[in-house]
Structure formats: structure tokens, C-alpha cells
Structure 1
Amino acid sequence: MPNSFAREAIQSSKVALGLAIRADRRRTISTGVFQVVGAVAAIGTVVIGKVLLERILDDGATSPQQLLWPLLGLALVTAITGSIAVIRNQQERLLGERVSQLVWNEVLDVVTNVDLMTYEQPGFITEYANVERGGMTRPLPMTKSVFGLMGAGLGVVAMLFALVSIAPVLAPILFLGAIPAVIVSRLASRSEFAFAQRLTPDFLRREYLRRVLTHREYAAEVRSFGAAPNLRSRHTMLDGVVADGLKTQVAGRTRLALVQIAGSALSLVAVLLVIVYMLDRNFLSLPQAGAAAIAVRILGSQLSSVYGSFSTLTESAPFVAELNKFLRNRPKVNALGEPEVLHRRLTLSNVGFQYPGRETAALAGIDLFIDRGEVVALVGENGSGKTTLANIVAGLYEADSGEILWDDEPLARERVRASVTMVFQDFAQFSFSVSDNIDIAGRAITNPGRVHLAAQGAQLAETIASLPSGFDTMLGRDLDDGLDLSGGQWQRMALARALLKNSSLIVLDEPSAALDPRAENELFHDVRRVLDGRAALLISHRYSNVKHADRIYVLDGGRVVECGSHYELMSRGGKYADLFTLQSAAYSIESADE
């Protein structure tokens, strides 16, 4: 177990130092140099102090002029020590920002490029939360602790040499006082990591409740249902859980700290008593005793620095190890491939898919094809597998079985994702400018006219023209200067975003969910003009919106149970005809009631 702990501490120290050097090599090195210079200055204090004591106690034989240089040397060393501390703190402040930026960028590399299926699993979110809460802030303190150990360790070695040259018996006594500190640091490290792991689920729940209570997206329903008192009560309960856990943790850490302080204090008192005893028995001269006392005092300070650095290092080691695992055990870049043009057909053959942890398959034996320029529809009741299949077609999920062919050739999922665009049912509303909302990937930075064409294709031109700054107008309510749009206008913004990508195939998942009936009717009757020759996979819960599709696939229980045109399916009198008739009847009743 100790060997495992030592390996983890050494490996984590290497990781932390590596991050610091990559973030800012010059400041990392200067931080280490400042630590060494500080240790050397401490040695100078002992040497100069011993010289001063010898000259002061030299029975009046020393003139004031002979004390001038030692005093100036002592002042210089003190000034250097103080100045180095100030400069080092400012350099570490800059280094901290650089390290934080590097760590964030590496974490973002993982989070933004990890497979969507992995990202959606609860285990990944918890792992990320652990890293964000504990690991991301630890590399810099750990780097500083390594340098602190170097500097303070050098000072300890120098002071020990000084003590050994004066009174060898003093060194072992001080080392005995270090034993509790090492044990306490190890216990504190285990305790702090276990505490963070144990309370992470409660932290996540509390943060989510804070979001629900404070964010705009939930505000209307919280007020409409009068949910605030209940949610506040649950938040208060979690506050209590966190506070109780922290109280227990602080009490345990305080007890460990008191044990460490007691061990250090006892060893220091023992050393000073030995010095007094040796002075009384004439084993030491007064200058030697004075120098030994100064050395012990400085050594005590250096040992405290060693204990503190060692404690930080051991406490940070498991967090940095977890950060390193998170960064290294994920694909670094799941990059988009080069987009392909669909010349003939996209084919899904015998495709199956099962969500992790589920007992039954979400999709099984799916056969589907989409020809160039076709509009193909997916319909089915809730839970039939429509969105799952759409995610596979869009390259966001990888099928567990079967094959996907692009123009009769297998195509890597990264290239499928680059070649297909998906308009999501729960599309994003970014607090960016109109241009940046449409061109979220920065594809048209050198050709802004493409953004204007995409907006026109999505029938947004008039809306944008009416905004205060046109395409430069900031949208969203997350920032103070943002304007909000209607649900239908936001939905057209999402469609413009898809048109800008200019893929051969667009997946439209409930593209009219936020549109009013007139706008919805216009969209579906004009869908081919909007697509401008692109193929489309259309998902809609309103059967009247898909009857003009070239082909309709009916899903039930993750399987295709029917396929054909609207008129073919209606003539068969199967599931599609039943659902279409049922929905049409419901609309007819509503119209009659009105």
C-alpha cells in the first residue's frame, strides 16, 4: 500500500509538472529557481547569525566596524528573502492562469469530442463533475508543492549539516517529529479524496436545483406550479447534507492537524532543551548554542514548509491521478471527416442498436434507404425508435449491428457525421449574434454571404431585417444585451444553421414543433424548395405533414413494420392507416368544436 501511494504521488507530480511546463515553461522554471534561492538565503541567515554572535560575544574585542558587514549581509539576505516571496507570488498568479487555461482546454478536448453515446451516460457526467470539482484546480498547487519540497528540502539538508557540525544528536530528534507529519499527510489525502467522491452526487443535485430555481428556461413552470417552496426545501435539505458532511470532514482534518502540530512542537521543544543542557554542561559554546538555536528555528520553519508541501502533494495526488485518467482514457480527437456528396443512395441494412444497461434493443433489423433528393419520412408512436434511428443516420450513434452504405460503400461514422446535418427537436438557442447562431461552426467567416443565403432559405430574411443590428444583433436572454425570438423564429434559425452546412442529407426531427399552424403548413408544402435538392429524413408526429414524402417508414417497437407512400399505406389499412385516421378524426372533432 505505501508503495502504491508513493507511485501515485510520483506519477501525479510528473503529470502536474508536465502541465505546468507545457503551460508556461519560463515561469515554471523561475518558480523553481525562486524556491532554491529562498533556501540558500535561509542558509545565509544561519551563517551570518553565527558570525554576528561570535563577534558580539568576543569579550569586547570586536569593533562596531567589524559588525557592519555581517549586519549589512543579514539585511541583504532578509531583503532578498522578502522580495523573492513577493515576486514568486505574482509569477505563480500568472502561472496559475496559464495552467488553468491548459487544463480547461484539455478537458474541453475530451468533453467536446467524446462519443455522444458515452457523453449521455450518467457515469460520464459524474466522472466529469469529479474532475471539474477536484482535479482541475490541483495541478498548480501540486506543482508548487513539488517546488516547495525542493526548496524547503534543500534548506532542511543545509540546516541539518549545520546542526550536525555543531551537535549531531539534535538531528535525530527533529526527524522523529517528522514521522507524525508523514502519517497524517497520508491519512488526510485518503480522507479528502473519499470526501469529494462521496459528496459529488449531492453537489450535482444541489447545483441542478439551483439551476432550476434561477435559470430562465425553468422560470415560467416554477412560477406557474408554485414549485419554488418545494424545490427550496429540497435545496435546503441538500445544503444540510453537504454542511454535515463538511463538518465531519473538518473535524477529522482538525484532529489530524493537531496531531501533526503536537509532534512538531514536541520535537522542537526537545531539541531546545538538549541545546540548553549541552550549553549548561559546556558541550557547546554560547555562539555555538546561539547558532544551533537559529538553525533549529529555521529548520523548524523549513520542516513546516516540507510538511505543508508534502500534505498538499499527497492530498492533490489522487485528484490529479483522476484528472490524468479522464484525459488519457478518452479519445483525444473524434474529428469530423471530410464530407461526402450523396450521388445515389444511403442504405441501412439490418441495423440494430441497444442502449447500454437496457435489456431490450431500441432498434432491430432496420432496413431503410434514402435516394438522392428524396424526402423520406419516419413515423411511429412515442418510444418506437424514431430519434434513435435518426441519430444513427446522422452519425451521432454507432449501430451495434448491420451496415450503413453511402453510395454502396461503407463510410466511417466520422465521415457520415460530416456529410449529414440534423435539425434537432430540442434545438439550441445560443446567446450569440444572428450570424454566429447560424454559422455556429465558423464555416462562412470568409464568406458571410453564405449566412445570408441560409437565412433566406429558412425564410428568416424579413425577421432579421427587422432586428436593430440585423445579422449582428445579439440573441438570447443569458446576456444583458440579447434579444429573444419567438419559438417559430428560433426554429427557423436552427433550420438556417442546417442549410449553411450544405450537406447532401438533412435529418429533420420534428422541425415544426415550435411553428404555428400556418407556418407549419407553409414549411411542409414548401419543404422541397427549402431543401433545394438535398435528401431529407423527416420525423414528425403529425401524419398530415408527411403524406407528401416519397416514402414513409412506420416504426413500432424498434422495427420497421410498414413502408410505402402515403396512398400505398392508406390502401393497406395497416398501422399507418389506423394512426393517420385516428389523428385526422381528432383534428376534425377539434375543428367541429370550434
Structure 2
Amino acid sequence: MLSRSFIWSALSSSWYAIKDALKFSFPVTIALCVARLVEAALPALQVFIVGYLIAGRPSGNMSIWEVLLLVVVTGGIMPLSAMVDALNLRLQFMLRYAYTYEVIDIYASLTPAQRRDSVTIDEVQAAHDSIPFNLSWQASSALNIIGAFTTAVLLFSSLANFDLLAASLVTVSLLPQLFGYSLVAKAENFYWPKQAATSRRAEYLENQLRYARSGTELSVLNGAEQFAHWAKVKHGIVRGYWMKIMSIRFTSAFVSGFIALLLIAGALSSLIWRSQVPTSLLAAAILGVVSAMLATKSAGSAYGELMASAPIVMRYLKLRAKLDSTDNEDEAARLQLLAPRTSNILMECEDVDFAYSQTDENVLNNLCLEVEQGKIVALVGANGAGKSTAIKVLTGQLKPQTGQIYSRLGKHEVAIMPQDIEKFELTVREFLTLPYYTTRVPSDQELWQALEKVDLASHVKALSDGLDAQLGEQWDGTDLSGGQWQRLALARTLLSDAKLLVLDEPTSSVDAESESKLFKMLKAETPERAVLLVSHRAWTLQYADHIYLLENGTLAQSGTFKDLKNQDGRFRKLFESQDWNQDERR
């Protein structure tokens, strides 16, 4: 038996699916509703009209209009059924792309915190995987079931005039198929979450083989065959889930079809021998039953698809609602941030503690620091000291457990260059303008100025298509060195009108001479805005106006480069093996 909550989810998901169908494809949905309604009424009309036109009449005693009516009523079910099938496919096609665009927008709107949440990522992946066979089919499945129910009611009414038992048996013949497909629905709901998680892993493994950079590394490591083996194992597990579902589907279809056949045979037997219906009316009844079977041929599968998809659609609706509420909460939290108490301070944290989970130790402990307008502020420390975490907390990517963040900056007033930049294989122009499509796309002149600042303009000009040159070997484009990619990412950050630039190891792959030029350029930028910098090279810190040294998530020292260099403290020990005056010697 189906639980009340399961039935409620089926009704709710159907309602929302039909609303989405009207929203995304109004004309096709209305056309399908009309065609399905006519198809549902046609079997009952056949019983009534054919019986009326044939009963007690000689074969030649019909007008041309009656003949035409007979042709339309008896032969119309085939083209009408084909039209309904075509409209079903068209609606599913339209909804498939509508939901695909919606899920793409969901991926684009995820916050950094949500992207680190495996539960949220699995939910979005499950939604993506459910588009072809669940989300896009739910509306047409619901309309098919409504049409089948209407067919059954109207046909019962028309056959009941001849034989109540036969009418009841014909109507009941639909139930075994519905019950069989409900078993399939339960099986799909059981295996679907497992399939989604396994499919996501298989897709990841496949992508590493498919992409040029990772595929090349795997070939060099002689690891490609192992990745292929792992991918095939995961696909084999997914195949196993679907084989189990197909086995249940085959068994239920065979058993339910056999039971329906017995019920139809009983109905015809009752019409022939119990009620002794005249041959002309019996022909009309048989025609109506056959047409009804054709009109409701997909009712069982539609019911199974609807019941299987109902929990998936409801999870998708909950995901949409959850992400919408999270976006609103994040925006509200940002708007509620208090401004720093000193007017020249852009951003400040006070007594901040942070841990990645309740069971983990704190990564940050009682952290206090501030970023002043027109200054370069540096965060330093050994690996694992908490520098990158501190940046993410300061910029709102992570929420602290305790403490207070003060900021007078809006969402678009902070530009971030992460430590590990993603080498998006776009054109140079697309790479540089990527963050600015929702605000103001920089002009070509501004692009070249930014490239000049990072000493990359001459290299881009030498490319055959300049700003429109394709990057990345995967698309037969130009590959860049690690330092060139880093300078390109820095140019993209400089294009921003942000009041604060957050740069996490912006020159780690750049040679010393280029690094010196870049830091002099950043120093020239600071009268207009502030820079929050993470760096591991001691000599570059001389450009910083203030330095904070973190140790195990705690502020160990702070001050100017000169003061910290001359103090016998943790800062001096951390960098004593490095050349303090490399820039001066060059």
C-alpha cells in the first residue's frame, strides 16, 4: 500500500510540474490538455455514435455526413493518439531544457560555503541527473493519468447502459498495470539516491581521462588504465541498479498485462453471453474498449514514472526553496554587518574563532586584524597557519563561530584572486571580463592597460588573435606558463573597481624580476584602494604597510616589515633562511 505522505508528494509534485509546464511552455501544454481531453472522450463517443448509426440499419441506409462522422469517430483515435504522443515529447523536450537552464543557474548561484557542502552538491547533482527522466516527464505523466482516468469514467458510463459488470471489469482492468508500476516506482526511489552518488563519481573519473591536462598527466604517470578501470567499476554499479529496476519492470508488466487480459476477456464474455448485446452494439462496445486501451496504453508507465519521480521532484522543489532562503539569509547577513568604528578602516575582525565543523579544532582563535584604506596589509605564517581561512572569513565566504566581522564594503567592492587559480580555457578577452558581465564589461583599452600593468600586453599582442586568442591546448589554443596564467588572473582582478583587492599568493609562480615589478605596481595602486596580501617571500613583504603573523590560527605578531625584521621573534625565525633584500640587490 502507498503511504499517505507518498500520495501527497505525488499530488503536490504533479501540481507544481503542471504549473512549471504552463510557465515554461504554455501553448504546448494547453494543446496537449485539449488533445488529451478529446482522446479521453473518443472511446465513449465511439460506443454511443457507432451503436446509434449501425443499430437496426441496413448498411446502405446512411447519409454522407453520417458516413463521415463514422469515419472520424472510428478512425480518429490513431492520428489523435499520435498527436498526443508528439505533444508529450515536445513538452518533455521543452521542459528538459528549461530545467537544464534552471540547474545551470543553481550551480552558478552557489556560494563558496555551499560548494564545500557535499550534501548540497549531491542534491544539485541528483537534480541534474533527474532532468531527462523525472523532472521533464512529470507534467506529461500527470496529464496522461488525468486523461486515462477521464477515459475510464466516460467509457464506464457508456458501457454501463449495456452491461454494468462488463463496464466494471473494463475499468478495473486498468488497476493491475497501475499497481505493477507502483512497485517499479518504489524500486526506483530506493535505488535513485545510490545511483546519483555513484554516477557523480564515475563522471569525475571519466572527466579526468577526457580533459587534456589531467589526461596527459595520467598518461605520463601510467595511471590512465587505472582511472578507466575505476570509472568502469562505478558505471557497472550504476548498470546493476538499473538492471534490478528493469527486472522488476519486466515482471510487473507481464503479470499485470496477463491479469488485464483476463478482465477484458471477462467483460466481453459478459457482453456476449450474459447480456446478449446485439451484434451491432457489441461491435460498438468492442471498438470503444480497443480505443480505450489505445488511449490509456501509457497510463501504467505514466503512473509509474509519476510515482517514481514524485519524491525526486519534491526534493528538487525543496532544494530550490533552500537555496533561495540561503541567498536571502546571506544577503540579509551582509546588510547587517556593522561598519568599522574608524572611518579609514574598510574591514576588521575582532575575537574571531572558526572551525570547519563542530568536531574539528579551531582553525582561527581570537583573531583580530584590520584593513585600512590605501594600505597593503599582509598575512604571513607557515603552511596551515590559517591565512587562507582568515581571508575567507573576512570576505564572507565562511561564517565564524564567534567574534565579529566589521565591513563597510558591498559584495562588488571586494575582488579576490585565490591562491590556486582555475585556468579557464576561454579567449583572453573572456578570461579577463569573466567577473564583469553582470556589472560593466571593461573596454578594450582597459583590458590592454591591465595587461600592461602585469607585463603581459606584449605577449598577448604577439598572439594571432590578440584579445580574442583561444587559451588552452584542449581547444587548440595557446597554452601559458604558470607565471603567465597568474599574471593574467592578476590583470583580471585589477580590472575591478573594488575598493579592496584580496591576493592570496599572487606571484608564487612568477620569476623574481617580474615579481618585483608587480609589487611596485600594487604599491602604486593602493592610494585608490587597499590590498590584503598573502605571501611566503620575505623580501616582498617590504611593500606591505602592516603585517600580521599567524601561528596555529592565532595572531602571534604584527607590525611593519622593518619592526618585525628587527625583532627577535617568530617572524624573523620564519624568514631567516630567505634573502631579505633581494629587490635591492637586483
Letter in 2 for 1:289: L
Is the aligned partner of 1:549 residue 2:544?
Answer: yes
Report how far residue 297 of structure 1 moved.
2.4
- What one-letter code is carried by the residue in structure 2 that aligns with 1:382? N
List gaps (5 residues or longer) in structure 2.
none
| 2:244 alignment partner in structure 1 | 248
User: What is the aligned partner in structure 2 of residue 37 from structure 1?
Assistant: 38
CA distance in 1, matches of 2:79, 2:282: 30
Shift of 1:156: 1.7
- What displacement does 1:81 show? 4.0
**1:14 aligns to what?**
15
- The corresponding residue for 2:575 is 580
Q: Is the 8 A contact 1:570 1:576 kept in 2?
A: yes
Equivalent residue runs for 1:468-507 within 5 Å: 468-479=464-475, 482-507=477-502
Aligned equivalent of 1:287 = 280
Aligned to 2:146: 150
Q: 1:88 to 1:531 in 2, by over 3 A?
A: farther
Query: In 1, Cα distance between the equivalents of 2:168 and 2:75?
Result: 32
In the TM superposition, residue 197 of structure 1 has moved relative to its aligned partner by 0.9
- Report if aligned partners of 2:156, 2:171 keep a CA contact under 8 Å in 1: no
Equivalent in the alignment of 1:564:
559
Does the 8 Å CA contact 1:444/1:451 hold for their aligned counterparts? no
Distance of 1:109 and 1:239 partners within structure 2: 27
Deviates more, 1:553-562 or 1:566-575: 566-575
1:348 aligns with 2:349: yes
Tell me if 1:533 matches 2:534.
Answer: no
* 1: CA distance, partners of 2:59 / 2:166: 33
Q: 2:290 maps to which residue? A: 297
1:87-486 map, 5 Å: 87-134=83-130, 137-278=133-274, 283-331=276-324, 333=327, 344-345=344-345, 346-356=347-357, 358-406=359-407, 411=408, 415-440=409-434, 441-442=436-437, 443-445=439-441, 447-479=443-475, 482-486=477-481
By how many angstroms is 1:568 displaced?
1.9
Q: Which amino acid aligns with 1:286?
A: T
- 2:366–2:554: 8 Å Cα contact kept in structure 1? yes
Would the aligned equivalents of 2:433 and 2:442 in 1 still touch at CA under 8 Å?
no
CA distance in 2, matches of 1:285, 1:78: 19
Distance 2:440 2:452 in 1: 15
TM-fit CA distance, 1:78: 5.6
Letter in 2 for 1:509: D
> In the TM superposition, what is the alpha-carbon distance from 1:79 to its structure 2 partner?
6.0
- Kept in 1, the 8 Å contact 2:156–2:168? The answer is no
- Quote the offset at 1:525 in angstroms: 4.1
**Post-superposition offset of 1:149:** 2.1
Q: Could you report, residue by residue, the CA deviation over 1:269-319 in whole angstroms, capped at 9, with x for unpaired residues?
A: 22122233236xxx3222232222223323333444432332222122111
Distance apart, 1:151 and its partner CA: 2.3
* Aligned 8 A contact 2:380 2:534 in 1: yes
Contact residue 453 and residue 521 of structure 2 kept, 8 A: no
Structure 1 residues 189-222: Cα deviation after superposition (integer angstroms, max 9, x where no partner): 1210111112222212211110111112312321
The Cα shift of 1:51 comes to 4.1
Aligned partners of 2:524 and 2:561: how far apart in 1?
Answer: 20
Task: State which drifts further: 9-18 or 425-434.
Answer: 425-434
Q: Distance in 2 between matches of 1:136 and 1:120?
A: 26
Once the two structures are superposed, what CA deviation does each residue of 1:199-254 show, in whole Å capped at 9, x if it has no partner?
22221221111011111231232122111122222223223322323222221222
Q: TM-score, normalised by structure 2?
A: 0.89
- Report the alpha carbon displacement of residue 555 of structure 1 after superposing the two structures with TM: 1.1
The CA deviation at 1:478 is: 4.5
RMSD between superposed Cα atoms in Å: 2.9
Q: Is the 8 A contact 2:77 2:291 kept in 1?
A: no
573 and 170 in structure 1: CA distance in 2 versus 1, 3 angstrom threshold: same
CA deviations 1:144-178 (Å, max 9, x no partner) are 12221232222222211111011111123234434
Q: Deviations over 1:335-355 (max 9, x none)?
A: 878999996112211122121
Contact 1:136 1:323 in 2 (8 A): no
Matches of 2:6 and 2:300 in 1, distance apart? 17
Distance 1:132 1:543, change over 3 A: same
CA distance in structure 1 between the partners assigned to 2:236 and 2:136 by the alignment: 31
Structure 1 residue matching 2:164: 3-state secondary structure: coil
What secondary structure sits across from 2:577 in the alignment? helix
- 2:248 is matched by which residue type in structure 1? G
- How far apart, CA to CA, are the structure 1 residues paired with 2:27 and 2:157? 32
- Give the drift of 1:97: 4.2
- Of 564-573 and 175-184, deviating more is 175-184
User: Which residue identity does 2:152 align to in structure 1?
Assistant: V
Contact 1:51 1:70 in 2 (8 A): no
Output one character per residue of 1:558-588: Cα deviation in whole Å (capped at 9) or x when no partner. Answer: 1111112233223222222112013459x9x
SS of 2:550's partner is: strand
Residue 120 of structure 1 aligns with an amino acid whose one-letter code is R
Tell me whether 130-139 or 247-256 shows the greater mean CA deviation: 130-139
1:421 CA drift (Å): 0.9
Classify the secondary structure of the residue corresponding to 1:329: helix
CA contact (8 A) 1:152 1:306 kept: yes
The Cα of 1:368 is off from its aligned counterpart by: 0.6
Helix, strand or coil at the partner of 2:495: helix
Q: 2:109 is matched by which residue type in structure 1?
A: N
d(CA) in 2 for partners of 1:88, 1:253:
24
Q: Per the alignment, do residues 39 and 22 of structure 1 end up closer, same or farther by CA in structure 2, a change over 3 Å counting?
A: same
CA distance in 2, matches of 1:430, 1:458: 19
Aligned CA distance change for structure 1 residues 140 and 224 (closer, same or farther; 3 Å): closer
Alignment gaps of 5+ in structure 1: 588-594
CA distance, structure 1, for counterparts of residue 136 and residue 54 of structure 2: 41
